[in-house]
Structure 1
Amino acid sequence: MGGCFSDVRGGKDAVGGALPRPTEPNAKNDGAHNDAIEFFYRAHGAYPLFTQLELSFSASKLLDLDVTSKCNLTATSLLSRLKKSLVFFQSDPMVVVYLKKNDGKLEELGRTEVILNNLNPVWIQKVSVAYQFEMVQNLIFRVYDVDTQYHNVPVKTLNLRDQEFLGEGSCILSEIVTKQNRSLTLTLKGKNGLGGLRNFGTLTVHAEETIASRSAVEIKFRCAHLDNKDLFSKSVSLPDSSLQDPFLRISRTVETGGSIPICKTEVVDNNLNPTWKPLCLSMQQFGSKDTPLVIECFDFNSNGNHILIGKLQKSVADLEKLFKEKSGVNFFIPSSRAGHEKVLKGQLFVDQFCEKEQFSFVDYISSGFELNFMVAVDFTGSNGDPRKPESLHYIDPYGRLNSYQQAITEVGQVIQFYDADKSFPAWGFGGRTANGTVSHCFNLNGNASESEVVGVEGIMAAYANALRNVALSGPTLFGQVVNRAAEIAARSLSSNNNKYYVLLIITDGILTDLQETKDALVRASNLPLSILIVGVGNADFKQMEILDADNGQRLESSTGRIATRDIVQFVPMRDVQTGGQISVVQGLLEELPGQFLSYMRSMDIKPPTINAAAQASPALEIL
């Protein structure tokens, strides 16, 4: 679905060069492990016997579903709107990986990025999978052509029913692992093996074991005097594209020959002397400081036919030397004659090089950091009369949990494990309390001066008691609850008590105070706080998706302030209940370790035991 002159911003974004996340929730239904959940099970004696692998992908001769997608434009509009000269566009492929369960159901493990207009793509985004040698792990790989209207949308939010199917392949994970080069090429077929003699192309899957390492480097690249490859653009005098649009792609060489892409920069438009945003590369990506890296500079074309400007090969150690010496290195163009290369005037410079130690979620938790749980429950009238079975607040006499109880129990059981005293603030909002006034942040236990209850059982008891003493009212307002949680998180900063707060909001309604809530979230974004929102019932939750900011757009307050980081994760209960592939706790906690780490890194907070070791050994420098 390369379409015609679509939004290509998604294709110009950087891939793989950001701070590594503790988990990789590429998929909407992520089957990869989660540090928070895994640590919980390990502490209870459940030690998984697996090896964590990363799968990388390339394809050849994919179906071209866009071969007839010409634009109905005049010659004049073609010249004015076509940036890089081709009328025909090719498929925009993405790989989705599934694990086939024993019952035949598919569990999604992850998704690659979308590559624009390319029938022979090499994807950068990896997919994590836990390899268990004693189990037969059936993997399904499906390739989709992503519609152009979704090119600037995070892949994990894409509805696959809206995309064109290009083919699928399957194998047993051990088939890949037992190959000498850990690579397996699959012939793609139609869905469920159908498709007859039609050629769907091939997909190559390569597996590598994940290296547990804290080491990373942050590098900022710049180029000077690049050759201009946009000769056609110049010849037709297109003023907005007279220069090339360069980006860098970095690949790591492998022992068996060839290379695997590990990241690419963003595209810098119309510039022969570009400077890119810093890249952060982990040791998992580059291997060691002496591993050769292939650095290629391309001129971006929206039709997918990116033109090689030049390439070079340097290790991370070499790049560090360039930085220290403040010198550049020339690109070259390979020649068809063996051993002959054309050296170019264009040069690569390293303007910033910084070695970092990146600590994991488990590093912090195991050294004494706590997650403090808070909960807020929606008491607005749209939930329905709690005495009637159709109410979202109906408490079943036979013990079946309603959606509110289910969310409290599933999330609380995991989070309370990380909280030493297990005393949790619990509030309600949108209810008419005993004094006859509607409150948008009242203590669930009925105590005017103390909001804390003990354990998940205490929350459940306070919730049930509140349903008997608080009348449902409205409207739905989050602002006061978010502000109350933020006040608690802010007070903790002065006591240096190694706490991070998690507020669970359970709601059925449409927000009345969307802007006030956004303002509160922006203010709270520099505090040790994450907010998990569960939507129950069948309301329109588009506002919650705005708060979630999964589209890459950080929240903006009414005064123009941008959120320091994303602190919200939203999951509609109906999707969990009907999909059946993930639990509430998986859906809510998939981003929590990443949000936790983003705060720790932004504030330069290290695990206490690491700090103590550094102070005891002054010669040890931890950047």
Structure 2
Amino acid sequence: MSLGGASERSVPATKIEITVSCRNLLDLDTFSKSDPMVVLYTQSRASQEWREFGRTEVIDNTLNPDFVRKFVLDYFFEEKQNLRFDVYNVDSKTNISKPDFLGQAFLALGEVIGGQGSRVERTLTGVPGKKCGTILLTAEELSNCRDIATMQLCANKLDKKDFFGKSDPFLVFYRSNEDGTFTICHKTEVVKNTLNPVWQPFSIPVRALCNGDYDRTVKIDVYDWDRDGSHDFIGEFTTSYRELSKAQNQFTVYEVLNPRKKCKKKKYVNSGTVTLLSFSVDSEFTFVDYIKGGTQLNFTVAIDFTASNGNPLQPTSLHYMSPYQLSAYAMALKAVGEIIQDYDSDKLFPAYGFGAKLPPEGRISHQFPLVWYWSELTLCALGVLESYFQMQLYGPTYFAPVINQVARAAAKISDGSQYYVLLIITDGVISDMTQTKEAIVSASSLPMSIIIVGVGPAMFEAMEELDGDDVRVSSRGRYAERDIVQFVPFRDYVDRSGNQVLSMARLAKDVLAEIPEQLLSYMRTRDIQPRPPPPANPSPIPAPEQP
């Protein structure tokens, strides 16, 4: 069920400051050098339109400007944040005309952050027949984005919701938005069969809790967990970051109120109480710190080749390669890969198939290599069409072999330099649930995350068991060390108007949102600190300019 009507807005990410320099710009002034200025445009995800975000100052008489004015952008790892930098020669600060255009560069914010030391250099283009020089961009995370709040809560005498037991309570935290809506920002674990739960301490970025406004309302809902997802509402209470922070010196007790019960029952007092046992604030390393220090995201994809996908040569197949539109498999892969590639230096992604009979023996394989590569945001499949003619789509659907394959690679890396992301795209419920749970529990101690996207019309309810948001995955009495799995059915993200770009953006936003925190949770449990950023490797310093 949807918890509390949460808004679809992203949890606020960190803020990134972009510093801009240019080298060897075109000289368009007759008696002096150009007077350059850079204009930054951001692209709307929905309309694809470019909108001006801001401008640097104008620097007179130079072809190699180092601009003082910065651009400060909200950074969302899970979104493709396209940027366009236009460079102009400005004789009058109020007049930007086409003759004064010096060149432009297109790139994503993730490319800047994922560049060596969070620095990139791009060639300026756009003036036919001319070398336009280069633009240098440096990303720096603002220091006030590092505060992490750690708190622990317990409850007393909550309402009994289960017929044969007590309740299985958990808390859901929401940050209020300026328009009066609420955005979910944290869920606690479920504590089974009790009306007096004590939840484990947890940490959350202060920006995610209040977006820097210490008096902004924080709403906390109390639910009774149900296996079918129809969690029962127990009650709610509100607070603020400033009020929470008072618990550094004293316990704070909140009444849990159920508005419906309050209206119906005259003698209603409350549905229990929640006590804030402890609250502290520290500064911690961030996702950007690790990326800037050289941590690479290694992306692997696994594709379902079981018979339930249908004949790949027929338009009814989920694998059908239409000349007019991408298949659901291709859209899921492109949505995730386009973002992950910015954090992978070689942009070469291993790919595996599972669930097919392979020639010449007709052996069923649940982990066979495909030849894929990624180039200039275009997915190219080499040998896959030929494979369709040679292999026989079969079954059953096994995940464990490919999870273990990636886990073996991740197990060889323990210094924080690599983090593995496995994307599994499937059309049906798996046949090896027990083995898959065991593989996930084992992989949870490794630098690894797993994204599972279900395509097609199948019922995927059983797959929710692998997504440990509510209850941590367990196998043979052993619980996963971390929540590393995110499962979503692709049909929930398809745009009704048929806009594939919007469909892919929605999917990527949801399935990738947890990756930064999953990476951080691994680094924290292993006490791995980010490496210092590599020294700058600037462009050759141009010859001194003559007056």
Superposition TM-score tier, normalisation by shorter sequence: 0.5 to 0.7
Structure 1 CA distance for aligned equivalents of residues 6 and 328 of structure 2 = 26
Give yes or no for the alignment of 1:401 onto 2:326.
yes
- Supply the distance in 1 between the matched residues of 2:447 and 2:9 (Cα, whole angstroms): 27
Equivalent residue runs for 1:133-532 within 5 Å: 213-220=145-152, 277-278=200-201, 280=203, 282-284=205-207, 285=209, 319-321=247-249, 352=278, 354-396=280-322, 398=323, 400-436=325-361, 437-445=363-371, 453=373, 455=375, 460-493=381-414, 496=415, 498-532=417-451
User: 1:300–1:307: 8 Å Cα contact kept in structure 2?
Assistant: no
* % identical equivalent positions: 33
Equivalent of 1:573, from 470, 479, 490? 490
> Displacement, 1:405?
2.4
Shift of 1:429: 0.7
Given that 2:349 and 2:374 are in contact with CA atoms closer than 8 Å, whether structure 1 keeps it comes out as yes
Q: Is the 8 A contact 1:250 1:294 kept in 2?
A: no
Distance 1:554 1:399, change over 3 A: same
2:465 alignment partner in structure 1: 546
Matched residue of 1:505: which SS? Answer: strand
Q: Is the 8 A contact 1:293 1:316 kept in 2?
A: no
The one-letter amino acid paired with 1:387 is L
Q: Offset of 1:423 from its aligned partner?
A: 2.1
- Aligned residue for 1:570, secondary structure, equals strand
The change in CA–CA distance for 1:214 and 1:474 in structure 2 (over 3 A counts) is same
Give 1:441 shift. Answer: 0.4
SS in 2 for 1:443: strand
Secondary structure at 2:395's aligned position in 1? coil
Distance 2:151 2:447 in 1: 28
Distance, in Å, in 2 between the alignment partners of 1:292 and 1:537 is: 45
What's the offset of the Cα at 1:487?
A: 1.1
Shift of 1:542: 2.3
Aligned-partner Cα distance in 2 for 1:443–1:357: 43
Shift in alpha-carbon separation, 1:288–1:371, aligned structure 2, 3 A: closer
1:529 Cα deviation from its structure 2 partner: 1.7
Amino acid at match of 2:357: R
> CA 1:443 to 1:354, structure 2 compared with 1: closer, same or farther past 3 Å?
same
Question: What is the alpha-carbon distance in structure 2 between the residues aligned to residue 373 and residue 248 of structure 1?
Answer: 33
Selected match of 1:587 from 507, 529, 544: 507
Deviation at 1:352, TM superposition (A): 5.0
Comparing both structures, which one devotes a greater share of its residues to strand? 2
Q: Which residue of 2 aligns with 1:555?
A: 473
Aligned partners of 1:488, 1:277: CA distance in 2, in Å?
A: 32
- Structure 1 unmatched runs, 5+: 1-6, 16-24, 51-98, 103-129, 131-209, 234-239, 253-261, 323-327, 332-347, 446-451, 614-623
- Residue 248 of structure 1, CA deviation: 12
Q: Deviations over 1:216-273 (max 9, x none)?
A: 33244689xx9x999xx9xxxxxx99xxxx9999999xxxxxxxxx9999999777xx
The answer to whether the Cα contact below 8 Å between 1:215 and 1:355 also exists between their aligned partners in 2 is: yes
CA distance 1:570–1:366, shift in 2 (3 Å):
same
Matches within 5 A, 1:71-86: none
- Could you say which residue in structure 2 is the equivalent of 1:608? 530
Letter in 2 for 1:382: S
Task: Report the AA paired with residue 213 of structure 1.
Answer: C
* Secondary structure of residue in 1 paired with 2:326: coil
Distance verdict in 2 for CA 1:506–1:34, change over 3 Å: farther
What code does the residue aligned with 1:509 have? G
- Deviation string for 1:456-483 (max 9, x for gaps)? 7675224334223322221111110111
Question: CA, structure 1 residues 475+600, in 2 after alignment: closer, same or farther (shift >3 Å)?
Answer: same
Q: Which has the higher helix share?
A: 1
Secondary structure, counterpart of 2:518 in structure 1: helix
For structure 1, which segment, 299-308 or 600-609, has the greater mean C-alpha deviation from structure 2 after superposition?
Answer: 299-308
Alpha-carbon displacement from aligned partner over 1:276-310 (angstroms, at most 9, x marks no partner): 65364654457999x799999xx9999989999xx
SS at match of 1:492: coil
> What is aligned with 2:10?
32
Q: Which amino acid aligns with 1:544?
A: M
Check whether the contact 1:35–1:593 (CA below 8 A) recurs between aligned residues: no
CA distance in structure 2 between the aligned counterparts of 1:410 and 1:300, rounded to whole angstroms: 33
Report the number of matched residues.
375
Return 5+ residue gaps in structure 2 as ranges: 21-38, 49-78, 80-141, 176-184, 225-231, 255-273, 536-547
TM-score (norm 1): 0.47
Deviation at 1:501, TM superposition (A): 1.3
Cα RMSD (Å) of the superposition?
5.8
